Amino acid sequence: MVAMVSPSSLFLILLFLSIPFSESNLTTDYYKNSCPQLENIIRETVTSKYISVPAAAAGTLRLFFHDCMVGGCDASVLISSNPFTKAERDADINLALPGDAFDVIVRAKTALELSCPGIVSCADILALATRNFVSMAGGPVYTVMLGRKDSLESNISSVEANIPRANTTMDEIIRMFESKNFTVGEMVALSGAHTIGFSHCKEFAYRLFGYSRSTPTDPSYHPKFSAALKTLCANYKNDSDMAAFNDPMTPSKFDN
């Protein structure tokens, strides 16, 4: 039997993830005096992006996760590489992070610099934007603690051991989350965020085509499910953008 993740459980995990692992001196009113228009600017920016590109909700949630799992929620994933150092965003697993997710952070930061220059960190912008996207997609509304500082460093070598891949074993994933003080239950709850968005066929095609010499398809897949995915992903080798919705019934609704 598969255990269902309750909305309240997922709310608590999202709230926990909104707090960086290395920071504790955060408050809800950190920018009350220095940037009183913060929430309005974030709301307007996110709403505009969501109306034009609904998929930005899942993309930004993923960007936030990839940021927080590597050294905490410090916006290090937003830093570009330079001639001396390859940054996190150039890691193989981060190359598919959607441009619209980066774009909404840039737009919000630009608007905030006009209103209150040099005040709001990109780390806080990403945390707030993610919260708003989740809410707009039908998910829980939760309070975001503020006061994060942006990282000044970002190294590609930090990514590999901290972000699960499609072929990462369950034991490896559990150890990865436990190293960040998540319980197995919390890990399962966080996985519920996959209720929105999609997965590229190339990431799981090995489970559909040529799984083993004796079993072409992963036997853990339901036959009807695997047949549908095979049809959908048949041309994945020629089209790297081919993808399947994580939740084919309500792909854009945060309703896990």
Q: List residues with catalytic annotation.
A: 66
For residue 255, say whether it is annotated as part of any ligand binding site. Answer: yes
Q: Is 140 annotated as a binding residue?
A: no
Tokens of 234: 């048949």
Q: At what angle do helices 38-52 and 122-136 cross, to 10 degrees?
A: 50
Element (H, E) at 186: helix 184-191
Residue with tokens 């707030």: 128
Instruction: Determine if residue 210 is labeled as part of a ligand binding site.
Output: no
Q: Is 194 annotated as a binding residue?
A: yes
Known binder of ligand: residue 203? Answer: no
d(CA 103, CA 122) in angstroms, rounded, equals: 12
Q: Is 74 annotated as a binding residue?
A: yes
Angstrom CA distances, 18 to 59, 125, 140, 190, 254, stand at 16, 11, 13, 12, 17
User: Is 67 annotated as belonging to a binding site?
Assistant: yes
For residue 232, report the phi and psi dihedrals to the nearest 5 degrees.
-65, -40
Under DSSP, the state recorded for 140 is: -
Taking the CA atoms of 45, 51, 57 and 60 in sequence, report the sign of the dihedral they define.
negative
* 183 annotated binding-site participant: no
Q: Is 88 annotated as a binding residue?
A: yes
The angle at the Cα of 34, spanning 126 to 109, to the nearest 5 degrees, equals 30
Binding residue per annotation — 135? no
Sequence ranges of the binding site: 67, 70, 72, 74, 76, 88, 164, 194-195, 247, 250, 255
Specify binding-site residues for heme b: 194
* Binding-site residue ranges for substrate: 164
